[in-house]
Amino acid sequence: MPASKAAAAAAAAALGKAAPGKAAPELAVEGLGFSWGEHRVLDGLSFNVPKGSSLAIVGPSGTGKTTLLHLIGGLLKPAAGSLSLDPAMAPLALMPQSHGLLPWKTLAGNVALGAGLSPRDPGVAAMMARLGIGGLARRYPHQVSGGQAQRAALARALMGKPQTLLLDEATSQVDALTRESIQDLFHGAWRELGMTMILVTHSIEEAACLGSSILVLGYGTAELISNPLPASAPSTAAIRANPAWLALCTRLRERLAAVRPDEAGGKGRAV
């Protein structure tokens, strides 16, 4: 669905577009389509993600959220349309739903894989300390909590110095308080490192905390909503304390409640 020119301009300002006359690096999605067998998951989807912005993707099950993330990450190939990633937004790193740590390696060994280093490299210890798991270097994944494992997975991803971080429901398997702590780590890393962050989530609250734009997928429909809160707040706690965050959560909840399976077959619109 085409956004108004005013909304597009506001979104561009919030996401830090380049100065007039100079094209900003971006991920450009044009007419994207993908099918699993005879089931069309994405159809005619178009949107842009400027470098350094964050995009949260939400929608009911079966609307193609993870499929879209895997297309962006190059794990799948489009059946139609195009997906172009500016070289300035590479390399990419993907954090899956499960932390994906190798069970036979220590946390330090897993973190070191992100940059092909020795677990004893000072950079590994520094990254683990930065994320609050410095004292767990010699432990194995089964010996730590879910939140600690996710911190190790994030450390591994950041060791590769990604310009774009892809998160596939990366906080879905931890408790509520740990989830908020991990969300704050994602938000802090995004603000500090200036990377692009694209996340899939079933949590409306998480989308409103982390997405400077929020892509709401329906069955063959799409809507892009601008959100200035992540870029302007120093922490996710500050975002959640802002009445505008609650209003945005309500808006997203209403939009998702209106999505119906009978929308299937409708064309994905430019957003």
Same domain, 113 and 242: no
The answer to whether residues 154 and 255 belong to one domain is: no
Phi, psi of 27 (to 5 degrees): -95, 120
50 and 152: one domain?
no
Residues 168 and 250 in one domain: yes
Same domain, 144 and 217: no
Tokens of 47: 């949107």
Of 10-14, 88-92, 253-257, which gets the smallest average pLDDT?
10-14
Are both 80 and 195 inside the same structural domain?
yes
Residues 72, 117, single domain; the answer is no
CATH number at residue 85: 3.40.50.300
Clarify whether residues 176 and 47 are in a common domain: yes
Structural domains in the chain (count): 2
Three-state SS letters, 179-193 = HHHHHHHHHHHHHHH
Taking the C-alpha atoms of residue 144 and residue 125, their distance in angstroms, rounded to an integer, is: 17
Residue type, 134: G
* pLDDT at 2 (0 to 100): 38
Other Cβ atoms within 10 Å of 2 Cβ, number: 11
Q: Which two tokens stand for residue 162?
A: 């990604």
- What average pLDDT does this structure show over 62-69? 94
* Exposure letters 145-177 (e unless 16+ CB within 10 A, then b): ebbbbbbbbbbbbbbeebbbbbbbbbbeebeee
**What range does the domain containing 144 cover?**
99-161
Identify the helix (H) or strand (E) that includes residue 155.
Answer: helix 146-159
79 shares a domain with 120: no
Tell whether 142 and 37 lie within a shared domain: no
Residue of 189, 201, 186 lying closest to 97 (CA atoms): 201
Residues 176 and 257 grouped into a single domain: yes
Whole-prediction pTM: 0.85
The answer on 167 and 40 residing in a single domain is yes
Per-residue pLDDT reduced to its tens digit, 136-167: 999 999 999 988 998 999 999 999 999 999 99
Q: pLDDT band at 11, cuts 50/70/90?
A: very low
Please give the pLDDT value at position 23. Answer: 60
Distance between CA 159 and CA 153 in Å, rounded? Answer: 10
